[in-house]
Structure 1
Amino acid sequence: MTILKYIYKFYIPFILLIIAVTVILSERKPLKTHAGNHFNFNEVYFRKISNIEKEKYLDSIVTSLNNESNDSVSRNLYLKAGEEYYYLNNIRKSFTSSEIALKLSREAKDSSRIAKSLYFIGDCYENSQKDSAYYYYLQAQKIYTLIEDYEKVGRMHFNKAYVLFYDGNFVECEVELTKGLNYLKDSNDVKLLYSCNTLMGNCLEKLFMYEQALKYHQYALGNLKVMKRNNLDSDEVNNFNVSSVINICNLYDLKGEYSKSIKELSAVLTEDLKKKWPRMYASVLSNLAYSKMKNKEYKDVEFMFLESLKIVDSLGYTSDAIYKKIYLGEFYLTQKDTLKSLKNLKEAYTTSVGMNYTNDILKTLRLLTKIDNRKKIFYANRYIDISDSINSIRSRISNKYARIEYETIIVENQNKVLTRKNFYILISSFVIFLILSSIFVFVYLKYKNKELRFVKQQQNDSDEIYQLLSEQNEIINTAKEEEKNKIARELHDGVMNKLYGVRMNLGFFNTKFDDKSIEKRKEYILELQNIEREIRTISHDLSRDSFFEGSDFNTLLSNLIANQNGLSRAKFNYSIEENFDWEQVQNIYKINLYRIIQEALLNIHKYSKALNVEVKIQLLEDKILKLSIIDDGIGFDMNAAKKGIGLSNIKERTNSLKGNLDIRSEAGKGTQIIVMFEIAR
């Protein structure tokens, strides 16, 4: 607390200077207050209304914001509107709101919201212009890195990887995912980790690294276990689990391990899945049928393919129907039913061309080349043309994303050069001032703190000496009181009763002069002599009180060492030079000496197994106090032994008195502790 007081006292002008320089460096414009905003986004109401009403509600908020000041509330509302428009699949309005939020955030130099706006704009471009999406994710990533929001940095790497994956750039996708997972390794966002691991598994599958892909899908299943422990939406977790099983079984199929795939897919093919997620059920069903077909288990395979195709057709998922028809065509090919195979493959090919699904086009062309002998050459040439075209496009895409990264770096470097000189001059001056001020304040506070610690230590030592002496005096007073009570009892019960008896009998026999009476008087005179001796004994006991009257620090040490006898087998002996005057020694020396002896005796009891211990205090040259503590115990190897807390405490207290500590010991030859220091009187 004392240090804090001095910091407050001397650092106020210093802190004000830091604030002033920060303002100069940032060149921020003052923000207006949000006096006119009396509305908030009503989350509960918004979740209850229909999608059409949700869009109207968002429109009303955006319209109202046109007349509001540029503050954090307005920027947050624009971003919230952009996010919700995106979920409503109104990409145009989402883009507009996010762009306004970006403009306002840049005016206010609001880094976190600039990054978030760029992130949302990238989402808007994700399905239409992947290079633009990549660019905005990259810009957001750089700002998140500057503000050290590393979880968001990891998310931007994932978003970039997602763009690269669906553009067929699997090598760069793997690189981005590796960077993202490195940032997210300690993240609590388990869903994001699940998505990263799943995408990495799919990416490695495309790169034909099946074992590595399987490892990352297993990591994704581990993320699902964490979701279950965190009591997340069980339906959502189950949905994720089915997706992971499908991904893993795809790998089993590629590796030819069809029986594993059949076992895993059969386990998740439930009526509950069919009821809640019919599209997912159809995927599992067709994948299971495919694995059985590849494993040459043809029973019910045709029915399974047809049922899955029927489900997706009824739901309107044309893209799902394409690959199911490809599977079905492949199945009929295994059954030598060329007509049905050709029919399904041609339907799949026509739909794939219409939707421009190049991977499905290539699959159908490859199969059609095998079974349509009349158009075999046509299909083969078409396959080669499309394959070459895809490779050319992927090459250009790879160069395009690398160029985006490179051009971004060039622009950033140019901007840095423009401001670097002035910034260096200002920051150098500021750093020099900061260092000099810090050194001055540090030295001053260190000096004051040392002074305060010394004063406090002196006070504590005085209080401790006083407490120890008070306890000793209380013991002595108690002993004196008990001794007085004992003497009083002896006088009352013994001497007084005897005197009374002798007086009464002498009075009785004093009037008689016969021989018998004379003998009796002699006996009582002898009894008076005995009483005299008893009184003399009591008088000697009383004179021993003078021992207590001279009680001082030496008595305190004597009692400390005497009390050690009986605690172990060791016999403790204490000696001190005659007429050593403790009153002339300052309390700080006495209390440290007392504690050193305590620590040494405790170590002897615990470790030495000594039979004899000698504690000796000497005064050398009238100013050097020498403490010797010698035992005949087992000793220890000075080089091998670790320094325990006891010896460390002894060394620390000796150093505090600017003294010298000498410890000598050998295994089997006992231990000597010599402490010497100059005492101030």
Structure 2
Amino acid sequence: MRFGPKIYIPIIVLLSVILLVFYNRGIHFKNRNKYQNAFDTEYFNRIPGTQKEKYLDSLVSSLKNQKNDSVVRNLYLRAGEEYYYLNNIAKSYFSSFTALKLSRAENDSSRIAKSLYFIGDCYENSQKDSAYYYYLQAQKIYLKIHDYNKLGQMHFNKAYVLFYDGNYVECEVELSKGLEYLKTSNNIKLLYSCNTLMGNCLEKLFMYDQALKYHQLALRNLRVMKKNNTDSDEVNNFNISSVINICNLYDLKGDYSKSIKELKPLLTKDLRKNWPRFYAIVLSNLAYSKMKNKEYKNVESMFLESLKIVDSLGYYSDAMYKKIHLGEFYLTQKDSVKSLSTLKDAYAASIKLKNTNETLNTLKLLTRIDSKKRLFYANRYIAISDSINSIQSRTKNKYARIEYETVKVEDENKVLTKKNFYILIFSFALFLILSAILVTIYLKYKNKELRFVKQQQSDSDEIYQLLSEQQNKINAAKEEEKNKIARELHDGVMNKVYGVRMNLGFFNSKTDEKTIEKRKQYIFELQNIENEIRSISHDLNQDSFLESNDFNTLLSNLIKSQNEISKTNFYYFVDERFDWEQVENIYKINFYRIIQEALLNIQKYANASKVEVKIELIDKDLLQLSIIDDGVGFDINTAKKGIGLSNIRERTNSLKGQIEIDSKIGSGTEIIVTFNI
């Protein structure tokens, strides 16, 4: 990978992550009391990553019932921080958000700000506008409590978001504010980060001389870090990155000899051994500068060596950059075959990695060498470029709107607070007046009331007992009605709606006459569902479901509708030895609902190729329903108790039937329900 004119962002990402995550987010927990031993730092640093997460889970679990004090809030923040380092963003968010709630409950400004900061970090890679919003909220609090180091950090974080959203002008503004707050700071690593990002931002704005100035300021920061006995490997790596950034500016200004002079001393055996990725970057950048300076000796071997290193390490984005430069080198050597082959590989990699900038760079080079497909590449370039411009146009002022809307909401809250204050005063005054009147009345009639206290107490106890009994009866009736309605809606209406929706979706793309007729049938079925809902809302009359339908026909139609909407083959077998007319409606409706619920579950989860529904008369009074599929099955002992299976059991138990469910993973499922009719 090269820090070339348009190909250096991944290294900035690497450096920024190192700086932001491992150094500038440092949390120091200074409270020492009975909870201090809850986090054993020395032990935590020794254990491997898998055990660290379990340790943090145990810590967070132990904090749930603790009193909300500063140490508990600190421990939640510490857990959120360590989860973040372990790349478990979901748990980091949970711990940070819990710390935010507890801090707000105690009006703990510094920890509110820190929680908002950590939550912003959780959104940084997924929803940049949300990350920006939380950084902005933290910034406002840090400004109020005059924590200028953290205030500078928030401006840097906002600038970081803006930079990777392509908003370089606002990024420069945020960095300028951050550096102003940090001008007397002792946080040299944060200053280094700000100066480096400012240099990269100004480079994007084509202000190369100013960008060079900030990269040189970053080198000064490194010298201070070295004097402060900062880890030498860390300083050395930062120094290499800064030199690469500076050499990139030399290349942009056309001063390739300076770039070569600065890069050559960096290629050491120690760098090759300990930091092979950095070595490959420096080697590739040196080869690129030599190529631009028309010094072609060993350039190809240098590119190939750097490409081999990053391929072996699995850095596919780095390999893509190197292939682009290697293709450009072959182009300078008029080796069209190698250039075309290498650039096509780079183009495919840029598409796979969704790197639009390098897709455009590759397309631009391909139009120069592939005369047969020049028009195709040119059209692709224009289409992608227009798409990028459209996106940038839509998001250009997104972050300014966030700032504006936040200020607007704050102003509105101030007005509401003022109004609420006046309303509170008025209400309090009115309360005092009413209280005085009531107290006067109370004192006036106190003697009279005391004579009836004993009788009233006795009456109240009796009334309370009657009301309690009546309320219990009402609650029981309500619960019974709720369960009844839930079963009817879930087993009847919902399953019908699901079936109609699946069928309409299946026929939605077809316009032949047969399909139109079927669609009309399902629209008519929606009318039936409407009537059934109306029936349920009036009196939950289950018998109305069967008033005008032959029950065997209803079951056959149900199986037929499943075959029409699914690749699964459904088969229906019924014992002809008995007449459905002799079976009570209560059994028929529950048979229908149980089959309907079971088929819905099979459709959703079983992935079966064949399903058999059998109804057999075992004895003259014993009716057995069997539903058998060859699907994926499930573990009965560990499966969650969903509402579907619960409803099947409830309906079976309500009629004093028996149910057996036999299923194993990979061996299908068998449900047998038996009723004594």
- For residues 428-443 of structure 1, the aligned pairs below 5 Å read none
Amino acid of the structure 2 residue aligned with 1:335: Q
Between the aligned partners of 1:229 and 1:34, the Cα distance in structure 2 is 32
Between the aligned partners of 1:201 and 1:374, the Cα distance in structure 2 is 41
Q: CA deviation at 1:151?
A: 1.0
**Partner-residue secondary structure (3-state), 2:397:** helix
Q: CA deviation at 1:45?
A: 1.2
Task: Show CA shifts across 1:448-470 (max 9, x none).
Answer: xxxxxxxxxxxxxxxxxxxxxxx
Between the aligned partners of 1:302 and 1:254, the Cα distance in structure 2 is 21
Q: CA deviation at 1:100?
A: 0.7
- For residues 155-170 of structure 1, the aligned pairs below 5 Å read 155-170=153-168
Between the aligned partners of 1:76 and 1:316, the Cα distance in structure 2 is 38
Please name the residue that 1:47 is paired with: 45
Amino acid of the structure 2 residue aligned with 1:309: L
Between the aligned partners of 1:186 and 1:425, the Cα distance in structure 2 is 46
Between the aligned partners of 1:397 and 1:230, the Cα distance in structure 2 is 42
Please name the residue that 2:244 is paired with: 246
Q: CA deviation at 1:42?
A: 1.2
Equivalent residue in structure 1 for 2:64, among 63, 66, 82: 66
Task: Show CA shifts across 1:577-596 (max 9, x none).
Answer: xxxxxxxxxxxxxxxxxxxx
Please name the residue that 2:439 is paired with: none
Equivalent residue in structure 1 for 2:354, among 346, 353, 356: 356
Please name the residue that 1:454 is paired with: none
Task: Show CA shifts across 1:48-78 (max 9, x none).
Answer: 1111111111111001011111111110000
In the alignment, structure 1 residue 233 sits paired with structure 2 residue 234: no
Equivalent residue in structure 1 for 2:275, among 277, 290, 306: 277
Task: Show CA shifts across 1:494-515 (max 9, x none).
Answer: xxxxxxxxxxxxxxxxxxxxxx
In structure 2, list runs of 5 or more residues that go unmatched: 1-30, 425-677
Between the aligned partners of 1:190 and 1:49, the Cα distance in structure 2 is 30
Amino acid of the structure 2 residue aligned with 1:358: T
Please name the residue that 1:302 is paired with: 300
**Partner-residue secondary structure (3-state), 2:372:** coil
Between the aligned partners of 1:387 and 1:128, the Cα distance in structure 2 is 23
Between the aligned partners of 1:348 and 1:130, the Cα distance in structure 2 is 28
Q: CA deviation at 1:421?
A: 6.3
**Partner-residue secondary structure (3-state), 1:420:** helix
Please name the residue that 1:189 is paired with: 187
In structure 1, list runs of 5 or more residues that go unmatched: 1-32, 427-681
Between the aligned partners of 1:95 and 1:311, the Cα distance in structure 2 is 36
Q: CA deviation at 1:419?
A: 2.3
Q: CA deviation at 1:39?
A: 3.6
Change in Cα spacing, 1:242 to 1:34, as seen in structure 2 (3 Å) is closer
Amino acid of the structure 2 residue aligned with 1:270: T
Q: CA deviation at 1:420?
A: 3.5
Amino acid of the structure 1 residue aligned with 2:318: D
Amino acid of the structure 2 residue aligned with 1:83: E
Quick check: 1:265–1:288 contact (8 Å CA) kept in 2? yes
Task: Show CA shifts across 1:472-512 (max 9, x none).
Answer: xxxxxxxxxxxxxxxxxxxxxxxxxxxxxxxxxxxxxxxxx
Amino acid of the structure 1 residue aligned with 2:338: K
Quick check: 1:37–1:68 contact (8 Å CA) kept in 2? no
Amino acid of the structure 2 residue aligned with 1:112: S
Q: CA deviation at 1:36?
A: 7.8
Q: CA deviation at 1:425?
A: 13
Q: Which has the higher contact order (CA 8 A, sep 6+)?
A: 2
Between the aligned partners of 1:230 and 1:248, the Cα distance in structure 2 is 24
**Partner-residue secondary structure (3-state), 2:126:** coil
Task: Show CA shifts across 1:612-640 (max 9, x none).
Answer: xxxxxxxxxxxxxxxxxxxxxxxxxxxxx
Quick check: 1:36–1:68 contact (8 Å CA) kept in 2? no
**Partner-residue secondary structure (3-state), 2:38:** coil
In the alignment, structure 1 residue 111 sits paired with structure 2 residue 109: yes
- For residues 93-242 of structure 1, the aligned pairs below 5 Å read 93-242=91-240
Between the aligned partners of 2:279 and 2:340, the Cα distance in structure 1 is 26
Task: Show CA shifts across 1:518-539 (max 9, x none).
Answer: xxxxxxxxxxxxxxxxxxxxxx
Amino acid of the structure 2 residue aligned with 1:279: R
Quick check: 1:34–1:71 contact (8 Å CA) kept in 2? no
Amino acid of the structure 1 residue aligned with 2:224: V
Quick check: 1:286–1:308 contact (8 Å CA) kept in 2? yes
In the alignment, structure 1 residue 332 sits paired with structure 2 residue 330: yes
Quick check: 1:329–1:344 contact (8 Å CA) kept in 2? yes
Between the aligned partners of 2:33 and 2:212, the Cα distance in structure 1 is 56
Q: How many residues align?
A: 395
Quick check: 2:36–2:71 contact (8 Å CA) kept in 1? no
Please name the residue that 1:87 is paired with: 85
Q: CA deviation at 1:397?
A: 1.8
Quick check: 2:156–2:174 contact (8 Å CA) kept in 1? yes
Please name the residue that 2:290 is paired with: 292
**Partner-residue secondary structure (3-state), 1:385:** helix
**Partner-residue secondary structure (3-state), 2:396:** helix
Equivalent residue in structure 2 for 1:391, among 389, 396, 415: 389
Change in Cα spacing, 1:346 to 1:180, as seen in structure 2 (3 Å) is same
Between the aligned partners of 2:126 and 2:323, the Cα distance in structure 1 is 28
Q: CA deviation at 1:395?
A: 2.1
Amino acid of the structure 2 residue aligned with 1:326: I
Task: Show CA shifts across 1:223-266 (max 9, x none).
Answer: 00100110100000000000000000110001000000000000
Amino acid of the structure 1 residue aligned with 2:56: L
Q: CA deviation at 1:389?
A: 1.4
Quick check: 2:276–2:309 contact (8 Å CA) kept in 1? yes
Amino acid of the structure 2 residue aligned with 1:373: S
Q: CA deviation at 1:353?
A: 0.8
Quick check: 1:349–1:361 contact (8 Å CA) kept in 2? yes
Between the aligned partners of 2:413 and 2:34, the Cα distance in structure 1 is 37
Amino acid of the structure 2 residue aligned with 1:356: K
Q: CA deviation at 1:388?
A: 1.6
Change in Cα spacing, 1:279 to 1:35, as seen in structure 2 (3 Å) is closer
Amino acid of the structure 2 residue aligned with 1:334: T
Quick check: 2:259–2:289 contact (8 Å CA) kept in 1? yes
In the alignment, structure 1 residue 372 sits paired with structure 2 residue 348: no
Change in Cα spacing, 1:424 to 1:147, as seen in structure 2 (3 Å) is farther
Q: CA deviation at 1:97?
A: 0.7
TM-score by length of 2: 0.57
Equivalent residue in structure 1 for 2:318, among 313, 317, 320: 320
Between the aligned partners of 1:68 and 1:383, the Cα distance in structure 2 is 60
Between the aligned partners of 1:174 and 1:411, the Cα distance in structure 2 is 26
Quick check: 1:161–1:172 contact (8 Å CA) kept in 2? yes
Change in Cα spacing, 1:169 to 1:38, as seen in structure 2 (3 Å) is closer
Quick check: 1:34–1:69 contact (8 Å CA) kept in 2? no
Between the aligned partners of 1:347 and 1:310, the Cα distance in structure 2 is 15
Please name the residue that 2:253 is paired with: 255
Q: Give percent identity, aligned residues only.
A: 76
Change in Cα spacing, 1:329 to 1:112, as seen in structure 2 (3 Å) is same
Change in Cα spacing, 1:126 to 1:148, as seen in structure 2 (3 Å) is same
Quick check: 1:34–1:68 contact (8 Å CA) kept in 2? no
Please name the residue that 1:649 is paired with: none
Quick check: 1:201–1:214 contact (8 Å CA) kept in 2? yes
Between the aligned partners of 1:395 and 1:424, the Cα distance in structure 2 is 45
